Amino acid sequence: MIVDFHCHFSHSFFRYREYEMTVESLLAEMDRNAVGRAVISPAGEFAAVRNREGNNQVADAVRSAPDRFIGFAAVNPWTRADGVAELRRARDELGLTGLVIHPMLQGFEANDPLAFPLVEEGIRLGMLVYVTGGAPLLAVPYKIADLAGRYPEGRFIMGHAGWDFHFDVLYCLEACPNLWAETSKTELANLESIARTRGADRLLFGSDYPFSTYESEIAKVRLTPGVTEADAERILGRNALELLESRNDR
C-alpha cells in the first residue's frame, strides 16, 4: 500500500495562488495513483493563522473517509497558550494524531524555544511532530535535528528531507534516531545518498499535494539509484504504517 505522509487539505485557500479542494477530488487523485492512505493537514492560511478552522476541516475529511485519511493538526507556536489548548482540542475532541509546524509560513526558527511548549504538549499527547523543512535560516535540517534531539522521547519528521539544504540530512538522521525524512520536493541525489548510506528505513513518502503531483513524487522514489524494489516498498508505505502504528505503543 502506498501511504502519503504529507498531503494538504483545506476547502479553499491561498498558497501562491488560489486553490480549491474537495474530499471527492482528493480521493479520486489518490485512486488514480494507487495511494491507499494519506496523512492530511491544513494548507495556506489555515496552516499559518486560521488553525482552528483548518483543523476542523481536516477532522471533517477524516470522518468522511476514516479508512483513507489520517489527520494532523496545524498550530502556530506564536499563539502560545492558546495554541497548546488548540492542539489539545485537536487531539482529544477531533481525533487528530499529529502536529504540523511550519517555520516558514508561521515565522519562527525550528529550534526556537517558542515552539517548545507546543512540541512538549504534542509529545505528551502521543502525537507525531512534522516540521516543514527547507526554508533558509528558519528550517534548515540541523535546526530540525536540534529540536528532535531535545526530545528523544518524541518522534519527528523532517519535511521535504531538507529540500535545498539536503547536505546536512545524513548527519541529522545519524544524530537523531527519533527523526525521519519525508521525500516530497527533495532531489533524487538527496534520496540516493540517504538510501545508500542509512538505508530506506528512515524515509517516508510524501506528495506535498496539491503543490506537487503524485505521479512525479512516486516516480522519483522508484527511479532513485540504489533503491531496490523492497526499499521502494518500505519508503512508499511500510515505514509510514509502522510509524503510525507506533503511536498506540505510548
Percent of the chain clearing pLDDT 70 (strictly above): 98
Mean pLDDT of 174-193: 95
Amino acid at 188: L
Residues 6+ apart with CB under 8 A from 196: 226
The pLDDT of residue 146: 98
Does residue 166 register a pLDDT over 80?
no
The pLDDT of residue 250: 45
Mean pLDDT of 170-186: 96
For the chain, give the mean pLDDT: 95
Does residue 178 register a pLDDT over 90?
yes
- For 41-57, the pLDDT digits (tens) are 999 999 999 999 999 99
Mean pLDDT of 100-120: 98
- For 212-235, the pLDDT digits (tens) are 999 999 999 999 998 999 999 999
Does residue 211 register a pLDDT over 80?
yes
Mean pLDDT of 52-72: 98
Helix (H, G, I), strand (E, B) or coil at 41: strand
Asked if the peptide bond before residue 177 counts as cis, ω within 30 degrees of 0, the response is no
pTM exceeds 0.95: yes
Instruction: Give the C-alpha separation, 51 to 60, whole Å.
Output: 14
Mean pLDDT of 92-112: 98
Range of 26's domain? 2-249
Identify the band that residue 16 occupies on the pLDDT scale cut at 50, 70 and 90.
confident
Does residue 182 register a pLDDT over 90?
yes
Terminal Cα distance for the chain, rounded = 25
Mean pLDDT of 138-146: 96
Instruction: Give the C-alpha separation, 33 to 156, whole Å.
Output: 27
Identify the band that residue 247 occupies on the pLDDT scale cut at 50, 70 and 90.
low
Q: What is the CATH number of the domain that holds 181?
A: 3.20.20.140
Amino acid at 96: L
Exposure b/e, 182-196, CB count within 10 A at least 16 = b = bbbbbeeebbebbbe
Does residue 84 register a pLDDT over 90?
yes
The count of structural domains within the chain is 1
